[in-house]
Amino acid sequence: MSTLVEQVKAAVKDAMRAKQKDRLGALRMLTAEFKRVEVDERIDVDDARALVILDKMTKQRRDSLAQYTAAGRDELAAVEQFEIDVLSEFLPTALSEDELSQLVADAIAQSGAASVQDMGNVMGILKPQVQGRADMAQVSRMVKSQLG
């Protein structure tokens, strides 16, 4: 299987061939972020780092979407939603509520956490497992409810 970065580059080429201007713009924005990270941090973006970048960009767009929707800016909200849809194509399938609850319970048992003060240890175990597959705010709420 090819890497996530290669999949994005292939999608850019496909969008160019199909003359999908909006999709191409969203994909180029993603490749530009990959390149920025490579240059700034002097690393090659691997799949794990690419997932972190995708997750962050998706979260930014969701925040913007909520703000545009609240302000009644439907045309801008539509653009953000389109970009979320394009970025979501490259994210792994989301975890169900039950799967996430089980992962949280396993992480709590593994870390030996007894109270909310041990939440950092639990989140440290969970983050690599759920990156790109669940909203970290939702994971945090779930950990708090199981610990508290």
Straight-line distance from the first to the last Cα atom of the chain, in angstroms, rounded to the nearest whole number: 42
Tens of pLDDT, residue by residue over 3-22, are 899 999 999 999 999 999 99
Looking at residue 2, what is its pLDDT? Answer: 59
Of 89, 77, 111, 75, give the one whose Cα is nearest residue 15: 89
Looking at residue 95, what is its pLDDT? Answer: 85
Domains of the chain are 4-88 (1.10.1510.10), 97-147 (1.10.10.410)
**Which residue did the predictor score with more confidence, 60 or 138?**
60
Question: What is the pLDDT of the chain when averaged over all its residues?
Answer: 90
Task: Give the whole-angstrom CA distance, residue 56 versus residue 132.
Answer: 9
Tens of pLDDT, residue by residue over 93-109, are 888 888 888 988 898 88
Residue 1: is its pLDDT beyond 80? no
For residue 24, give the 3-state DSSP assignment: helix
Task: Give the whole-angstrom CA distance, residue 91 versus residue 7.
Answer: 11
Looking at residue 138, what is its pLDDT? Answer: 85
CA distances to 44, 117, 132, 148 from 55, rounded to whole Å, are: 18, 26, 5, 27
Residue 37: is its pLDDT beyond 90? yes
Looking at residue 135, what is its pLDDT? Answer: 81
- pLDDT confidence tier of residue 86, bands split at 50, 70 and 90: very high
Helices (H), the chain: 4-17, 21-41, 47-70, 74-88, 97-111, 119-130, 136-147
